[in-house]
Structure 1
Amino acid sequence: MKVAAVQMVSTPRVDENFEVARGLIAEAAAAGAELVALPEYFCLMGQHDSDKLAIAEPLADALIPGTHSTPMQHVLSETAREHGIWLIGGTLPIRGPGSDKVFNTTLVYGPDGARVARYDKVHLFCFDDGQRRYDEAATLRPGSAPVAFDLTDRSGQAWRVGLSVCYDLRFPELFRQLGAQQPLDLIVLPAAFTDTTGRAHWELLLRARAVENLCHVLAPAQGGLHENGRRTFGHSLAVGPWGEVMACRREDGSGVVLAELGKARQTQVRTQLPALAHRVF
């Protein structure tokens, strides 16, 4: 199955970000990608963390063509249907009941435009090195459950896909829980890693999660200097089940990273090293 990780340098303007995202999705689909994943906060990198509260939407009960009460979700649904792809919508701010905070939510849409999965980011990033300070808990509510979904590619092959977001990468127990009932074939991790933490740990941790779970990893990222002064690390990439980097965008800026995932290779490494069957805890 050919997959695509979309890299962006999102701005404080939602319409502009969606225009860029749709262009990159179209590029990926034209190159044959069946699954396309957008980065965390693809829709908005505001001047202030609280800016996401102003654009937050309630979760749409149903996405009906011509209905625009949840415009961001509507565009994602229509774009998936237009290109006949599985679309993983990075993250959107989704309102929950009874709180002035929002969820940082990944929404997945099938080739028919129907929503097939929702994952609310569980682990909220906090960092302070004396120069840069981030505290997502000031504006976000954490999710409470791991989420995976099943898809069938155009060849009829079934894939089990686990969802995660950015800071989740540092918590391997989440991925073990995701694969507890059924081993994962693919982990998708939209991110907006800071340049500081990304240089130190991004590729290292992504490759570790692939090796631990003997599965593929796809990580679309924000990558570059944003208008709010924040620099994100980028390096959107795909990793194979033996920990090998299959494709990576090494430069800043928007673009598409394409990779061909193979279940045969995954089966081979799991047969050679049946670590998943040797788990005790």
Structure 2
Amino acid sequence: MTSVGSVDKNFETAAVEQGCRMLFLPENCSFLGLAFSESLAVAEPLEGPTMQRYRQLAADSGLWLSVGGFQERGPDPEHLYNCHVVINASGRIQASYRKIHLFDNSVPNGPVLMESRFTAAGERLVACDSPAGRLGLSVCYDLRFPELYQRLTYELGAQVLLVPSAFTVATGRAHWEVLLRARAIETQTYVIAAAQAGQHNAKRESYGHSLIIDPWGEVVGRLQDPLATGIAVADVDLGLLQQIRCRMPVAEHRRLGRLAVHRDFEIL
């Protein structure tokens, strides 16, 4: 998607069917404005009218939806939550995850983005079952913290890791695909990364390149035009996932997750 500063226009773009069981939307799919204050102004509780429209869309279409990044009303007037919401085909909220890692950075030759100025960090890992398998939820900048995905996989049983994003162009060119493929390979899961793409407004541009990656690290779904609005389609084969995990039982070989941390040591 190329989301803009209009909830109505973004909603119309998202309401598309291609005969799939589940549709995954990127971070900021409902709104992406010029200023932090605009995001705070449109923030709503999960029971509010914008999320209700997505819930109705899921029920009307019979699709599960991953609403990859929604401006949820936060703990105080100055902060919102960047909330990833999964809605089932009956229109009920199945799970919600508040982004844990906030992007505070000055991008070389790009924008200065200080997410913590207006966003409160989440504190809870979230996974849920779906027609695509057991989903591990994350958002964008979380991608740079592999321990989050390790815990989603080995502690919460994730088979599909979701990384809805609005990556900057500079960081996307350098790191987007290699990080996504690494997360898939090291956890032996599918990775589905719906991405914002193109010029949103005078200040924001996103890298695009939405990807679906299998547990062997192969890209099995992408748009022909990586900056276009569209839908990449792929099958999730949980049989393949099990074959890969059986042939290379990484979960059984893990040791660091079982070792105690000792803080008393000698500096040589």
Q: What TM-score does the superposition give when structure 1 sets the normalisation length?
A: 0.87
Q: By how many angstroms is 1:247 displaced?
A: 1.2
**How far apart are the structure 2 equivalents of 1:109 and 1:182?**
19
Aligned to 2:13: 20
Within a 5 Å distance, the mapping from 1:103-118 to structure 2 comes to 103-118=81-96
**How far apart are the structure 2 equivalents of 1:51 and 1:96?**
14
The question of whether the paired residues in 1 share the 8 Å contact of 2:127 and 2:156 is answered with no
Select which of 82, 93, 102 maps to 2:60. 82
Q: By how many angstroms is 1:261 displaced?
A: 1.1
Aligned to 1:232: 206
Aligned to 2:247: 272
Select which of 87, 93, 118 maps to 1:139. 118
Aligned to 1:251: 226
Select which of 170, 176, 181 maps to 1:202. 176
**How far apart are the structure 2 equivalents of 1:58 and 1:259?**
32
The question of whether the paired residues in 2 share the 8 Å contact of 1:224 and 1:252 is answered with yes
Q: Secondary structure at the residue paired with 1:119?
A: strand
Aligned to 1:66: none
Letter in 2 for 1:161: L
Q: By how many angstroms is 1:130 displaced?
A: 5.2
Q: Which runs of 5+ in 2 are unaligned?
A: 258-268
Within a 5 Å distance, the mapping from 1:11-90 to structure 2 comes to 11-22=4-15, 26-27=16-17, 31-60=18-47, 70-90=48-68
**How far apart are the structure 2 equivalents of 1:130 and 1:40?**
22
1:124 paired with 2:99, answer: no
Q: By how many angstroms is 1:152 displaced?
A: 4.0
CA gap 1:271/1:21 in 2 versus in 1, 3 angstroms: same
CA gap 1:278/1:109 in 2 versus in 1, 3 angstroms: same
Letter in 1 for 2:51: Q
What is the CA deviation profile of residues 185-216 of structure 1, one whole-angstrom value per residue up to 9, with x for unaligned ones?
Answer: 10111100001000000000000000011010
Q: What TM-score does the superposition give when structure 2 sets the normalisation length?
A: 0.91
Structure showing greater relative contact order (alpha-carbon pairs closer than 8 Å, 6 or more residues apart)? 1
Q: By how many angstroms is 1:251 displaced?
A: 2.6
Select which of 76, 92, 95 maps to 2:73. 95
Q: Which runs of 5+ in 1 are unaligned?
A: 1-7, 61-69, 154-158
Q: By how many angstroms is 1:229 displaced?
A: 3.1
Aligned to 2:260: none
Q: Alignment identity in percent?
A: 39
> Aligned-pair RMSD on alpha carbons?
1.3
Q: Secondary structure at the residue paired with 1:179?
A: helix
Letter in 2 for 1:224: G
Count of matched residue positions in the alignment of Structure 1 and Structure 2: 254
Aligned to 2:264: none
**How far apart are the structure 2 equivalents of 1:39 and 1:53?**
19
**How far apart are the structure 2 equivalents of 1:45 and 1:148?**
26
Q: By how many angstroms is 1:180 displaced?
A: 3.0
Q: By how many angstroms is 1:235 displaced?
A: 0.3
Aligned to 1:164: 138
Q: Secondary structure at the residue paired with 2:242?
A: helix
What is the CA deviation profile of residues 146-185 of structure 1, one whole-angstrom value per residue up to 9, with x for unaligned ones?
Answer: 10001246xxxxx211000000000001111112334321
What is the CA deviation profile of residues 5-36 of structure 1, one whole-angstrom value per residue up to 9, with x for unaligned ones?
Answer: xxx111111111111111xxx23xxx321111
Over alpha carbons, which structure has the higher Rg? 2
Letter in 2 for 1:56: A
**How far apart are the structure 1 equivalents of 2:186 and 2:217?**
9
Letter in 1 for 2:45: P
Letter in 2 for 1:214: Q
Q: Secondary structure at the residue paired with 2:212?
A: strand
Letter in 2 for 1:263: L
CA gap 1:182/1:137 in 2 versus in 1, 3 angstroms: closer
